[in-house]
Amino acid sequence: MSTPAAERAPGLASADGIAARARGLTKAYGSGETAVLALDSVDVDIVRGRFTAVMGPSGSGKSTLMHCLAGLDTVSAGQVWLGDTEITGLKDRELTRLRRDRIGFMFQSFNLIPTLNARENITLPMGIAGKRPDEKWLDQVIDTLGLRDRLRHRPAQLSGGQQQRVACARALASRPELIFADEPTGNLDSRAGLEVLGFLREAVDSLRQTVVMVTHDPGAAAHSDLVLFLADGRIVDEMRQPTAESVLERMKRFDVLRAPADGASAAGEA
């Protein structure tokens, strides 16, 4: 039996097929008076085959959550699993291998190698891992992302949107269990940004990938299936089938909470 939505804490799934899971995930930076509690005992399930967006005010812990789920950062307390593997407690070398073999990353800066062409950039991480690409899958990714006629171009010969598509293909190439995208549209104009979001959507719908995206943009979050809202290091809400408007409305409530009590609020600045 699945738990009725009303009885679940936001961020927890009732379904099978959890790609990543955290329980009691706590991350503190620094110590003593300057200590910052970036994540405060977070419980979250990332459902396989879904597109999840993570939103929240600046400093709410979005990037920290992503980094801890991806094994890029150590945790102060709690546990994180990727599939059935508990990653908290893995040694550095094991973590490096796990990230390389099972996780795809897309960052705001595309991190492409300028001297390699698009195809070489896409397959580079697999080459480093000593794995041969599955050519059928790679073809599917390249065609889904519309990169077929750009494979021999170097990054400098590609537009920003095309570069981000190459970064997207690189994240997908090894068919990872989970793809983390940190502000993947942050450096793109709105058309190129929309394109990349469409491709991430396509990766989930057509290629059955699992994507977690951190974003500030309600329009970007509207491409996801589920938005998790973070505030002060906790998951405080979730929204299914989001629209840009509904996400914006929800984000405004954070602004209201943070506005000065004397009424000299952000409303006057809008």
Ligand X SMILES: Nc1ncnc2c1ncn2[C@@H]1O[C@H](COP(=O)(O)OP(=O)(O)OP(=O)(O)O)[C@@H](O)[C@H]1O
Of the pair 50, 62, the CB lying nearest ligand X is at 62
Supply the minimum distance, in Å, between the C-beta of residue 229 and ligand X: 11
Residue 73 or 202: the one with the smaller Cβ distance to ligand X is 73
Instruction: Rank residues 60 and 174 by Cβ distance to ligand X and give the closer one.
Output: 60
Q: How far is the CB of 86 from ligand X (least distance, A)?
A: 22
- Angstrom distance (rounded) from CA 193 to CA 180: 16
Residue 52, Cα to own-chain centre: how many angstroms?
A: 7
* CA-CA-CA-CA dihedral for 86, 90, 94, 96, to nearest 10: 90
Q: What is the DSSP letter of 269?
A: T
Q: Please tell me what DSSP assigns to residue 98.
A: H
What single letter denotes the amino acid at residue 6? A
Segments in 129-212 forming alpha helices (H): 135-144, 160-173, 190-205
Nearer to ligand X, 62 or 150 (CB): 62
Give the nearer residue to ligand X in terms of CB position, either 71 or 155. 71
Tell me the one-letter amino acid at 50. Answer: R
CA distance 48 to 66: 16
In angstroms, what is the minimal distance from the CB of 242 to ligand X? 18
Shortest Cβ 128–ligand X spacing (Å) = 26
Task: State the minimum distance, in angstroms, from the CB of residue 68 to ligand X.
Answer: 9
Interface contacts to ligand X, rule CB under 6 A = 29-30, 36, 38, 56, 58-64
